Structure 1
Amino acid sequence: MDRRVFLAATGAALLARPAAAQVPIRQWAQLSLGEAGFRPDAGERIEKAFAAGELKGLHGLVVLRHGKIALERYFPGADEIWGTDRGVIAFNADEMHDLRSVSKSIVGLLYGIALAEGLVPKPEASLLASFPDYPDLASDPARQRLWIEHVLTMTMGLEWDESLPYSDPRNSEIAMEQAPDRYRFVLDRPIIRPPGETWTYSGGATALLGHLIAKGAGQRLGLFASSRLFAPLGIHNFAWTNGFDGQEAAASGLRLRPRDLAAIGQLLLDKGVHEGRQVVPADWLTQSLTSRTKTGGGLHYGYQWYLPRYGTPSVRYGAFGNGGQRLLVAPDLDLVIAITAGNYNRPDGWQTSVKLADEFVFGGLAK
């Protein structure tokens, strides 16, 4: 699989880290393993595998079944915040964790909320019309073919390469961070393919979406996320790392606790409704979770969400982040898997999370 699927922007130890006050962890109803349909040794198998070195770098796992916690485990390990070393952390339910590119999928949900409020342009709208500060780019006939939907689906056709290490300034994500104007940098990339034709992994695309949300709402992205998505879900403890420009790094900077990440997955299962409130518009979820293109690794892709087909039965919706961060949703099983890990910037960093999900979560279900 194309390694870009699993990498998110990182490698910037100089970035500011917004603080978040500690508040009590959200409480979830619990199911026994038997009630949740798991083998009685499912949790023990995970613990033994970690002790044996089979799940290297694993930090946290929360599995929801039928809207309740069925499995929850935490392990100590080396960690960082957007490239800044934290040392070895004894992880627990209260500890926030970098989500890296899982942030992109959550920004996708925020865009739908903002769209329903009339704060951002529709997918079929012209992209450059939303960036009036760049009339020279808007006058380019080739760029007039760019729509918001091409940003949502990462099919802009612009030159962008995040396959290089994030320590390399030629990496497009790092070059964007170092540019004096990140949005001009993204929009001014050479056009190498017709818009809509080819999926290209791009943190720049999510940066554009985050900017449009913040601009339309008239407030920072994190504040909008807090009031419209997190607080309605009972999530009151989060952080969003800033980029070099002092604004939230939309593509990779969000930090949540694993239970709160799992709550996002449960929201997808519940068609955007939480405790009787429509938090994310149902029609936006339908649009976001419909296949629009295919990635270089053969996965399907919607609006900032991966639509994989693996597991038994299939995982239908997924969000992936550098280091092994995962949010996996299996509607056929009424099951959500949230994984945090510390295998940052390793080409094989995804393997622990895939092994955990396939062999120990799906593999732990009673036959």
Structure 2
Amino acid sequence: MLNRRSFAATLLSASAVPFVNRAIAQTESDIRSAVRDLPQFHAMIVQRGDDIVFAEALRGPGLDRVANIKSCSKSIVALLAGNAISQGAIASVEATLGVVAPSIIPSDATQGVADLTIEDLLTLRAGLEGTSGPNYGAWVNSDNWVSFALRRPMIATPGERMIYSTGTTHVLGAALTVATGQSLLEQARSVLGRPLGIEIPPWTRDPQGFYFGGNEMALTPRAMLRIAMLMRDGGRFGGEQILSADWIRASIRPHTRSPFSGLDYGYGWFLTDSGFILARGYGGQVIAAHPERDLAVAITSDPNSPARSGGYFGQLIDLLEGPLLTLG
């Protein structure tokens, strides 16, 4: 039975609903207007709690066809590393490359690479000269991508500063393959694909048959959203604990900082000051989660155009931390 105070509160709450709905509708209108002004933008899905609050494809293959997620692949490989550790295939993040996968180290590798830890590889702090940027072409045209990456000169002390390098994540992927006895494709399908109910098609492999460990994976925006939900919900999906909650917590703890964007970086995931957890791929591919605001976001963009922190990617960050954040 309602007393006078609770009755008044109920009336106030009911009267506020139209204003809340109107504010959300205005925010969605602001989002739609903002993305239409971004010529590189392809598609975006936003989920708050259990509800899809925005889903639109202005360009590109749409919401239900795969898109190249580019370097968001690095974040996927990091999740597979966590599973390999949870399953005991790798002892811990402190395990060294020389113990985990000695067979992939060439005889003429740079001195010290056998002592690189899984954590060094996860956080892009291997200390080796990068294979991204101007070195990328020579690397992917080499006859052995892992050996090429492990022969780069040591330009920093391992474990100290972040050197963005797709080759570092590719070495991690090769190490996971050796340690688990499963290809990255097999791992991705068993660890993420089947539990999340998403399709993961085969992607590029290197001359030795290792799946590309930091680029070229393809997912639909809806599949990307489910990975975002997994990160948002501490490794849970559909009422099941898919990945270790401890691993997710470790993944979103800052371990280093990007010299380009200034964003903190955990185990394969970028971290914003506002609380977003981000996978970022060339051109503006984004898998984002905000646990406190109960948000999960997937964004695809033109994979052939750059998305610099001071340009298009910066605009996507403004979108996330502006109108999208107000949805939470």
Give the corresponding residue for 2:9.
none
1:19-43: CA deviation from partner (whole Å, max 9, x where unpaired): xxxxxxxxxxxxx998889621333
How many residues get paired? 306
Partner of 1:340: 300
Contact 1:240 1:249 in 2 (8 A): no
Contact 2:132 2:167 in 1 (8 A): no
| Equivalence for 1:148 | 118
AA at the equivalent of 2:204: N
Deviation string for 1:73-124 (max 9, x for gaps)? 1112xxxxxxxxxxxx4x4321111111111101101111121112234211
Which is helix-richer, 1 or 2?
A: 2
Q: Which residue of 2 aligns with 1:39?
A: 24
The answer to whether structure 1 residue 242 and structure 2 residue 204 are counterparts is yes
The aligned counterpart of 1:177 is: 140
Residue ranges of structure 2 left out of the alignment (5+ in a row): 1-16
Partner SS for 1:228: helix
Say yes or no: does 1:307 pair with 2:271: yes
The 1:139/1:182 distance shift into structure 2, 3 A limit, reads closer
Task: Name whichever of 214-223 and 126-135 sits farther off.
Answer: 126-135
Q: Matches of 2:123 and 2:108 in 1, distance apart?
A: 21
CA contact (8 A) 1:98 1:253 kept: yes
How far off its partner does 1:144 sit? 4.8
> 1:113-262 alignment to 2 at 5 Å?
113-133=83-103, 134=105, 136=107, 140=111, 142-164=112-134, 171=135, 173-235=136-198, 237-245=199-207, 246-262=209-225
Q: Which runs of 4+ in 1 moved over 6 A?
A: 32-37
Q: Does the residue aligned with 1:72 lie in a helix, a strand or coil? A: strand
Distance 1:139 1:326 in 2: 34
| Residues 226-246 of structure 1, C-alpha deviations (whole Å, 9 max, x = no match) | 1121110111x2324213424
Q: How does 1:45-124 map to 2 (within 5 A)?
A: 45-51=30-36, 54-76=37-59, 89=60, 91-124=61-94
Q: Which 10-residue stretch deviates more, 142-151 or 102-111?
A: 142-151
Match of 1:255, SS?
Answer: strand
Q: 1:163/1:177 Cα in 2 relative to 1: closer, same or farther (>3 Å)?
A: closer
Give the deviation of 1:137 after TM superposition: 5.4
What amino acid is aligned across from residue 98 of structure 2 in structure 1? Answer: L
Deviates more, 1:91-100 or 1:239-248: 239-248
Whichever residue aligns with residue 74 of structure 1, its letter is: A
Partner of 1:28: none
Cα deviations across residues 325-360 of structure 1 (Å, max 9, x unaligned)? 112211221111211111534243424423432444
TM-score normalised to structure 1 length: 0.76
Aligned partners of 1:227 and 1:354: how far apart in 2? 32
Superposition TM-score, scaled by structure 2 size: 0.84
**Which whole-Å CA distance do the structure 1 matches of 2:202 and 2:27 have between them?**
33
Task: Give the one of 263, 273, 283 matched to 2:246.
Answer: 283
Partners in 2 of 1:326 and 1:70 — Cα distance?
A: 17
Query: Once the two structures are aligned, what percentage of the paired residues are identical?
Result: 31
Which protein is bigger by CA-based radius of gyration?
Answer: 2
In 2: Cα distance, 1:187 partner to 1:37 partner: 56
Greater RCO, CA 8 A, separation 6+? 1
SS at match of 2:289: strand
- The separation in 2 between residues aligned to 1:356 and 1:33, in whole angstroms, is 25
1:218 is displaced (CA, Å) by 2.1
Gaps of 5+ in 1: 1-31, 77-88, 165-170
Seen in structure 2, the aligned counterparts of structure 1 residues 258 and 280 have a Cα distance that, compared at 3 Å, is same
Q: Distance in 2 between matches of 1:190 and 1:176?
A: 14
- Please give the alpha-carbon distance, in whole angstroms, between the structure 2 residues aligned to 1:163 and 1:36: 46
**Among candidates 304, 307, 319, match of residue 356 of structure 1:** 319
* Distance (Å, rounded) in 1 between the aligned partners of 2:226 and 2:216: 18
Provide the secondary structure at the position in 2 that maps to 1:328: strand
